[in-house]
Structure 1
Amino acid sequence: MSKALVPARRTRKHTERGAATAEYAVTIVAACGLSGILIALMKSPAMMSLLKAIINYALKAAGVDGVQI
């Protein structure tokens, strides 16, 4: 097999061994922080009324009248 067709393997240096694990940890911490902010936003009265209005609009567009959330 020709060397041009074989994908080159990237070997990590000894100092880069835990880099992938650290990147995953930072990503998980960032995702948890963002989800905490979103939960706090969704619990606010303004967002609750907005969500109720959207649901009621969708129900009326589907032809379901008389349902008030």
Structure 2
Amino acid sequence: MSQPSTPARRTRPTALRRFRTRSERGAATAEYAVTIVAACGLGGILVALLKSDVMMNALKSLINYALKLAGVEGLEL
């Protein structure tokens, strides 16, 4: 037969589990914040690059080349 567990044994794992959960909550939030900041920084860099005249001309040339391969002539962007 099983013996009844003491109150200290029942509460101890729960208390430890609760302590671990609390300490990891902030870490997950901080990781999300760092990821969001990095994504926003990368997005800002991409916007700045794509607004430049060199990149605009490169994209237009690429699109015109693709249109010519598809057989669409006389369309210049």
TM-score by length of 2: 0.71
SS of corresponding position for 1:60? helix
Q: Which has the higher contact order (CA 8 A, sep 6+)?
A: 1
Matches within 5 A, 1:21-36: 21-36=29-44
Equivalent of 1:54 in 62, 71, 75 = 62
Ranges in structure 1 where 5+ consecutive residues have no aligned partner:
1-10
- Which residue does 1:16 correspond to in 2? 24
TM-score by length of 1: 0.79
- Which residue does 1:44 correspond to in 2? 52
SS of corresponding position for 1:17? helix
Ranges in structure 2 where 5+ consecutive residues have no aligned partner:
1-16
Runs of 4+ in 1 over 4 A off after TM superposition: none
- How far is the alpha carbon of 1:38 from its aligned partner? 0.3
**1 or 2, which has the higher helix percentage?**
2
Measured on the aligned residues, the alpha-carbon RMSD in Å equals 1.4
- How far is the alpha carbon of 1:18 from its aligned partner? 1.1
Task: State the identity as a percent.
Answer: 68
